[in-house]
Structure 1
Amino acid sequence: MSGRYTLIATAAAGLESLVAKEVKQLGFDEVTVENGRVIYKADALGIARSNLWLRTADRVKLLVGEFEAKTFDELFEQTKALPWEAYVPENGALPVVGKSVKSQLYSVPDCQSIVKKAIVDRMTKKHGLTGRLPENGVMYRVEVALLKDKATLTIDTSGEGLHRRGYRVEQNEAPLKETLAAALIELTNWRPNDPFIDPFTGSGTIPIEAALIGQNIAPGFNREFASEDWDIVPRKLWDEALTEAEDVAKYDQPLDISGYDIDHRMIEISKTNAMEAGLADLINWKQMQVRDLNPTVPNGYMIGNPPYGERLGERKEVENIYRDLGNIMNEHPSWSVYIITSYQDFEKVYGRKATKKRKLYNGYIRTDYYQYFGKRQK
């Protein structure tokens, strides 16, 4: 099938508007924002560019069809009526995954089985095959998602989630997803010329994402995607998208990015990850505790994902960290400070009410993103 496709970029709760903004910046149109997803139109090249460039989306899925299904018969017949052969070759591997929310068809294994049978029925007839499909070719992962009796059938173009950039070879116990780290940066007014500090760097995700953004490097540049071997996205289109990414990267853009952590092991892990990302010389890493922070230049940005104090016995220690941070940054009014935490009394302990607050989810943890806008020095 040539021409235009309907794509769905899935997004974590609270990040839909950011994903939509990125989609529009890539030049795609007919953009619709819904809970957990952004729907838009693109051509085959757009499938490649979406996967390479979307920093804050979870996955890019190709929409095959949507319809109401309250019975298994309806699900079977309407799935079978969709043009699967336009997307999948006769030897394509077709695993089916599913989910169901507030729908009469609540048995996910049954829904998966029925969708698979309907696709096989359609494909064998269209390709003139007898018996089963060979399924010994490239992967086309189908998802049947039921929400309030509406079935959405998609094929996953990404493969592994888009947060898997390919640079994180080591990590700490509770790593921040790369997509969320990028979102934390995109929710600020930081520009590549501004100083940037992460005082709780962990495995280095926030500074690494900042460097990728600062030099306009496509986040998917160093990984592979499921649709790279699809017939509908020829190899020349992937090469075109990769060449474009190389051409627009600003490798000469100077950056002042630092990542600090109290744990020297985290600093070593961060250095390893930065090297894997090809950013070894761009980020300054240093073992340091919060109370020793002392920004030496004005008009900087601090973005941090500190400990939340959710474990017993950690609360006092975490409160001391927040208090130290507030006292220090109070001395640097030109700096903008952005902190994500689930700790409800953060503003009280930090010592100031945030300029702005945004609800976000770090995995399954409900957090707030506290934003303190600095008064820029001239």
Structure 2
Amino acid sequence: MSTYKIIATAAMGLEALVAKEVRDLGYDCQVENGKVIFFGDETAIAKSNLWLRTADRIKIIVGEFKAFTFDELFEKTKALPWEQYLPENAEFPVVGKSHKSKLFSISDCQAIVKKAVVERLKKHYKKQWFDENGALYRIEVALLKDVATITIDASGIGLHKRGYRAAQGVAPLKETMAAALVMLTNWHPDKPFIDPFCGSGTIPIEAALIGQNIAPGFNREFVSEKWDWIPAKVWEEVRTEAEDLAKYDQPLDIVGSDIDHRMVKMAEENSFEAGFGDMIQFKQMRVQDLTVKRDYGVIIGNPPYGERLGEKQEVERMYKEMGQAFDKLDTWSIYILTSNEEFEQFYGKPATKKRKLFNGFIRTDLYQYWGKRPPRV
């Protein structure tokens, strides 16, 4: 097997979580803004696609070099060993981005990289024309401060697409962000877990996947499964290992509720698609009516932010009612994600800790209220 330089891309603020996941898979890594870089073989490519809950995508670095002119970009791209990655019938569209670089025309950069790859393949395969009717190898040229990084996307559709979301609401939380929220808590599957703003059920479902140690990518396909240089046996072994590591008999006490009965029905459908059936309990309920039967649980909420005209006062009132309802839950740890900078004021008390996160392009804070620890036995 060969060794590849691999990027796991990450939303801003989640890099440390992605790095922890990569290390948990057994790979040393380097953390940079928006990405985690590590080295691994074909198995690493398959494992990282299958197991990383908080990464956006897996990419393979083909080359990195300085490029101040289009000629440099062409020649240095052409010098890369494309024949090691692309078969002669490969479909290889080129996408690009540029930031703080002399080569700022993205369309020109894409065209030049495409031409350079074609010229390299022409020489290797001794052909003048390529039909591009085979497996997909999406190439990206990313220029940052005049350094070009050329990658191939090994995921296909983003890793947040787990395959269970049959339906979704107006502004759904990405599955990767939902998993991150769960992983940032002190929750373990032996504790009760509640999401009082469950929407289409993403946070409870991600908690269930974590609780039963089910690989988030187990029920979907990846573009690199069709690459001829990653043997089918690698994918079979990685999926078999994931099946063996899953704890399907782990009992779960997970509840999702929402004020909108349509969202509750949607969440139930998505939970069924994820394979949890009635293991997760969903119900229609106002947040201020929440009651608990057990001590030492975790509540995670992604409530409305009140950013639309006319919603602000209603949302602020709801924050206040939430604070009053949760005030008596002193053994529960509560985590609320919102962009409202005055949340603590309306909730009624300062958070134990705040963590800056980006929900899509919205800057938010995760307000953390840590509950009392259970007594030592």
Identity %: 65
Identify the match of residue 149 of structure 1 among 125, 129, 146.
146
Aligned residue number for residue 37 of structure 1: 35
* Counterpart Cα distance in 1 of 2:31 and 2:130: 36
Q: How far apart are the structure 2 equivalents of 1:114 and 1:87? A: 19
| In 1: Cα distance, 2:327 partner to 2:96 partner | 50
1:268-307 map, 5 Å = 268-307=265-304
* Residue 63 (structure 2) aligns with: 65
Q: Give the equivalent residue in structure 1 for 2:119.
A: 121
**Equivalent residue number for residue 12 of structure 1:** 11
**Which position in structure 1 is the counterpart of 2:50?**
52
**Offset of residue 186 of structure 1:** 0.6
Q: Give 3-state SS (helix, strand or coil) of 1:50's partner.
A: helix
1:376 is displaced (CA, Å) by: 2.3
The correspondence for 1:86, drawn from 84, 87, 105, is: 84
Equivalent position SS for 1:361: strand
Please state if 1:261 is matched with 2:254: no
**TM-score of the superposition, structure 2-length normalised?**
0.99
Q: CA deviation at 1:321?
A: 1.3
Residue deviations 1:12-70 (CA, integer Å, cap 9, x gap): 000000000000000112x1100000000111011111100000000000010000101
Residue 341 of structure 1 deviates from its aligned partner by: 0.3
Once the two structures are TM-superposed, the CA of residue 312 in structure 1 deviates from its matched residue by: 1.3
Give the alignment's TM-score, normalised by structure 1: 0.98
Q: Which residue of 1 aligns with 2:2?
A: 3
Q: What is the CA–CA distance in structure 2 between the aligned matches of 1:370 and 1:279, rounded to whole Å? A: 29
Q: Distance in 2 between matches of 1:128 and 1:311?
A: 59
Matched, 1:25 2:24: yes
1:362 equivalent in structure 2: 359
Rounded to whole Å, the distance in 2 between the matches of 1:167 and 1:252 is 20
1:180-209: CA deviation from partner (whole Å, max 9, x where unpaired):
000001111110101000000000000000
| Alpha-carbon offset, residue 281 of structure 1 | 2.0
Which whole-Å CA distance do the structure 2 matches of 1:187 and 1:70 have between them? 42
In structure 1, the residue matched to 2:216 is 219
Q: Which amino acid aligns with 1:367?
A: T
Deviation sequence 1:102-122 (CA, Å, 0-9, x none): 111000000000000000000
Q: Which residue of 2 aligns with 1:326?
A: 323
Moved more, 365-374 or 320-329: 320-329
Partners of 1:7 and 1:274 lie apart in 2 by 32
Q: Are residues 1:230 and 2:230 paired? A: no
- SS of structure 2 residue aligned to 1:18: helix
Alignment of 1:128-139 (within 5 A): 128-129=126-127, 131-139=128-136
- Structure 1, residues 282-327: CA drift from partner, whole Å, max 9, x if none? 1010000011111121100000100000011111111121111111
Distance 2:71 2:182 in 1: 47
Q: Distance in 2 between matches of 1:316 and 1:134?
A: 59
- Distance in 1 between the 2:327 and 2:69 partners? 61
Q: Tell me the CA shift for residue 377 of structure 1.
A: 3.3
Deviations 1:325-348 (A, max 9, x none): 111111010000000000110001
SS in 2 for 1:125: helix
Aligned equivalents of 2:2, 2:141: Cα separation in 1: 24
* Deviation readout 1:253-281 (Å, 9 max, x if unpaired): 00100000000000000000000000112
CA-atom RMSD in angstroms = 0.7
Would you say how many aligned residue pairs link Structure 1 and Structure 2?
Answer: 375
Is 1:168 the equivalent of 2:172? no
Report deviation, 1:219.
0.2
Query: How far, CA to CA, are the matches of 1:352 and 1:217 in structure 2?
Result: 36
Q: Which runs of 5+ in 2 are unaligned?
A: none
Q: Aligned runs of 1:235-254 on 2, under 5 Å?
A: 235-254=232-251
Q: C-alpha separation between the residues in 2 aligned to 1:153 and 1:262?
A: 47
> 1:342 maps to what in 2?
339
> What is the one-letter code of the residue matched to 2:74?
F
SS in structure 1 opposite 2:134? coil
| In structure 1, distance between residues paired with 2:64 and 2:349 | 48
- Provide the C-alpha distance between the structure 2 equivalents of 1:63 and 1:190, rounded to a whole number of angstroms: 36
Residue in structure 2 matched with residue 101 of structure 1 by the alignment: 99
In structure 2, what residue type is equivalent to 1:276? E
- The 1-side partners of 2:322 and 2:372 are apart by 18
Cα drift, residue 134 of structure 1? 2.1
| 1:196 aligned onto 2:196 | no
Hey, what's the Cα distance between the residues in 2 that align with 1:350 and 1:137?
Answer: 56
